[in-house]
A and B are shown apart, each in its own frame.
Chain A
C-alpha cells in the first residue's frame, strides 16, 4: 500500500540546522512519519525546543551543538549520532545562511565573506555527506536530502555567495546520486522559495503580493516533501531537485501577480 511507503518508522534522520525554520519543520514531519531525529545546530536553545516538540510526538530526539563548516566538528557530530542511535538512515543537509555580505557591492565583498558564505551553504553539505558515507555503505544504503534554493537556479544583483553555493548544492546532489547509485544511496534536493519563519503577519501580507502564488510559504509546507524524499515512496528518484516555491521560478519572467484575464 502506498501510504506504507511514506512511513519512516525505525529510521533515524540527522538534520543540520534543526533548531529553527525549515530544519525544525522537516524534523517534525519526519517524526510524524515515525523517524527518530538527531538535530544539529550552532545554538542549543532552539534545538532544545525542537527536541521538546519531537518528543511530544512520542519520538526520540538527540541534539548536539555543531559548527558544520569545520570537518572535525562534522565528523564528531556523525559519530555522536551513530553512537546514540546505532545507525543513521537519512541525512538532511539543511544548515545555511543568507545574510553574509548583504548590502555590499561586488568589489566590496572580501575573502572572508566569500569563504563563510560558501562554507556554511555549500562546504557544510559536502563535509556532512562525506562524513556519513562510510556508515551508509556499511549499512547497505541511505538517503541524503540537500536544501538548496531558487537562488541556486537564478541570479540577483550583488548576490554571489548564496546563489553560487546553492547552485553548487544542486550539483553536489547530482554528483552524490551518480557516485552512489549502485549502493542504494539516494541523493535528492529541495529548492525552497520564500518560506519565512516567525515574521509579523503584516510583513507576511506585504511579501505575499510579490509571490506568483499570492503568498509566501509556511515552514510546515516543507515537511511532507522531505518525508516523501526520505521514504521508499521516492525510490526511483535520485539526483533530482524539487522546487517548493509557489511557482516563483516558473513565473519569474513576469512581475508577480499578473496573469492573462480569464472567466470564472
Chain B
C-alpha cells in the first residue's frame, strides 16, 4: 500500500531569484557512467569531467573488449585531471553491480551523479525474432537500469542527494518497422524513469531521461545507408545527431540547480518529433 513520504525540511536560498555564479560547474561531484562502451557514453563521461566532476565508468557486459573501451573513456577523463575508476561487469547481475558500486564508492567517493548510458538496439523483424532476442533487448536496456539504479540509488536516497539520467529513444512512444523489441525496451526505460523520479524526488534524488532522435554512432535503423540519406533531409535541422549533442543536457541535468526538473525527458532530436 502506498504511504505518504514526508515533505522535506524547507530550505530557503539566500536569494530567491538569483542562481548565482556558474550553475553548470560540477567540481567536487563524483559521476558514474554505466555502460561506457560507445561514442555517446564517451561524450557523456568527458562532458562531466570537463564540467569538473570526477568520473568512474563501467561496461555493460562482463566482456574484455568492452573493458578496453571503458578504460579508454576513463583515460580521457583522467587526462583532464579528474580521478575515477573503471569496472568490467555484467550490469544485469545484482551481486556484481552491488559489489562494484560499493568498491567504486570506497575507492573514489560517494556517487552524486549516475548516467546510465546503455543505449543499444537490435533492429529485427518481429517474425524473425526469438524469445531470447526479446529477453536480451529488455535485459540489456531495461533490466540493467533497474539493477544499477537500485544499487546506486539506495545510497543516494540515504544521502538525500542524487542526479540520475537515463537514455531513451524517440521510439519509446513512436513506432518504426523492425524496432518493436527496441521500442518496448525504451518504453520500459521511460516508464521506470518517471516513476522512480517520483519515488525518490522527496529524498533529493532526481531521475530524468534524455530522449534521443537519430544519432550517428548509435546503433539503430538509421545505420542503413538509404534510411540515413532520407533522414538527413527529413530531420528539420538537416543532420543526424552527434554524440557531443547530448553533452549540454547531461551537464545541466546533473547540476545541483536542476533540482526541480524531475521525472522528465529532455528531447534532443534535431526537431524531428516536432513534425513527425
Which among A181, A223, A227 is the interface contact of B236 at CB below 8 angstroms? A181
Q: Which stretch, B178-186, B194-202, B219-227, touches the partner chain A?
A: B194-202
B243 to chain A, nearest CB (A): 11
Q: Does A131 contact B (CB under 8 A)?
A: no
Q: Which stretch, A80-88, A93-101, A113-121, A191-199, touches the partner chain B?
A: A191-199
A141 to chain B, nearest CB (A): 12
Count of residues in A whose CB is under 8 Å from the partner chain: 66
Q: Is the CB of B258 within 8 A of A220?
A: no
Q: Does B122 contact A (CB under 8 A)?
A: no
Chain A residues within 8 Å of B251, by CB: 2-3, 6, 233
Cα-based distance from A212 to B1 in the complex (angstroms): 17
Cα-based distance from A68 to B10 in the complex (angstroms): 36
Count of residues in B whose CB is under 8 Å from the partner chain: 64
Known: A220-B13, A259-B2. A32 touches B236 (CB 8 A): no
Q: Does A213 contact B (CB under 8 A)?
A: yes
Q: Identify the interface centre among B7, B255, B258: most chain A CB within 10 Å of its CB.
A: B7
Chain B residues within 8 Å of A231, by CB: 248
Q: Which stretch, A9-17, A71-79, A156-164, A202-210, touches the partner chain B?
A: A202-210
B55 to chain A, nearest CB (A): 13
Q: Is the CB of B50 within 8 A of A3?
A: yes
A168 to chain B, nearest CB (A): 15
Q: Is the CB of A236 within 8 A of B270?
A: yes
Q: Is the CB of B10 within 8 A of A217?
A: no
Chain B residues within 8 Å of A247, by CB: 194, 197-198, 201, 262-264
Q: Can you list, as one digit per residue, whether each of B8-22 has a CB less than 8 Å from chain A (1) or not (0)?
A: 101011011111111
Q: Is the CB of A223 within 8 A of B23?
A: yes
- Among residues 153 to 200 in chain B, which have CB atoms less than 8 Å away from a CB atom of chain A? 154, 157-158, 194-195, 197-199
Cα-based distance from A14 to B242 in the complex (angstroms): 30
B119 to chain A, nearest CB (A): 16
Q: Which stretch, A21-29, A36-44, A104-112, A132-140, touches the partner chain B?
A: A21-29
CB-nearest residue of chain B relative to A171? Answer: B274
Cα-based distance from A240 to B170 in the complex (angstroms): 12
Q: Is the CB of A234 within 8 A of B154?
A: no
Q: Does A235 contact B (CB under 8 A)?
A: yes
Which among B7, B248, B264 is the interface contact of A242 at CB below 8 angstroms? B264
Q: Does A174 contact B (CB under 8 A)?
A: yes
B123 to chain A, nearest CB (A): 22
Q: Is the CB of B271 within 8 A of A178?
A: yes
Cα-based distance from A232 to B8 in the complex (angstroms): 35
CB-nearest residue of chain A relative to B274? Answer: A239
B247 to chain A, nearest CB (A): 5
Known: A25-B19, A244-B261, A247-B262. A215 touches B7 (CB 8 A): yes
Q: Is the CB of A246 within 8 A of B23?
A: no
Which among A32, A223, A250 is the interface contact of B264 at CB below 8 angstroms? A250
Cα-based distance from A53 to B20 in the complex (angstroms): 11
B217 to chain A, nearest CB (A): 14
Q: Is the CB of A2 within 8 A of B10?
A: no
Q: Does B245 contact A (CB under 8 A)?
A: yes
Cα-based distance from A212 to B274 in the complex (angstroms): 28
Q: Is the CB of B17 within 8 A of A24?
A: yes
Known: A2-B251, A177-B236, A233-B248. A215 touches B17 (CB 8 A): no
Which among A6, A174, A217, A259 is the interface contact of B5 at CB below 8 angstroms? A259
Chain A residues within 8 Å of B197, by CB: 247, 250
Q: Is the CB of A243 within 8 A of B264?
A: yes
Known: A247-B201, A259-B199, A264-B157. A233 touches B252 (CB 8 A): yes
Q: Does B147 contact A (CB under 8 A)?
A: no
Known: A178-B236, A220-B17, A220-B257. A246 touches B201 (CB 8 A): yes
Chain A residues within 8 Å of B248, by CB: 2, 5-6, 228, 231-235
Q: Does B76 contact A (CB under 8 A)?
A: no
Q: Is the CB of A28 within 8 A of B241?
A: no
Chain B residues within 8 Å of A217, by CB: 260
Q: Is the CB of A225 within 8 A of B258?
A: yes
Q: Is the CB of A174 within 8 A of B252?
A: no
Q: Does B138 contact A (CB under 8 A)?
A: no
- Among residues 110 to 127 in chain B, which have CB atoms less than 8 Å away from a CB atom of chain A? none
12 extra interchain contacts, Cβ-Cβ under 8 A, other than A244-B264, A247-B201, A257-B7?
A2-B248, A213-B201, A214-B8, A215-B8, A220-B17, A223-B19, A225-B252, A233-B248, A236-B269, A236-B270, A245-B264, A250-B194
Q: Which residues of B approach A to under 8 Å, CB–CB?
A: 1-8, 10, 12-13, 15-25, 47, 50-51, 154, 157-158, 194-195, 197-199, 201-202, 236-238, 241-242, 245, 247-249, 251-252, 255, 257-264, 266-271, 273-275
Going nearest first, the 3 A-B pairs with the smallest beta carbon separation are: A233-B248, A239-B274, A250-B263
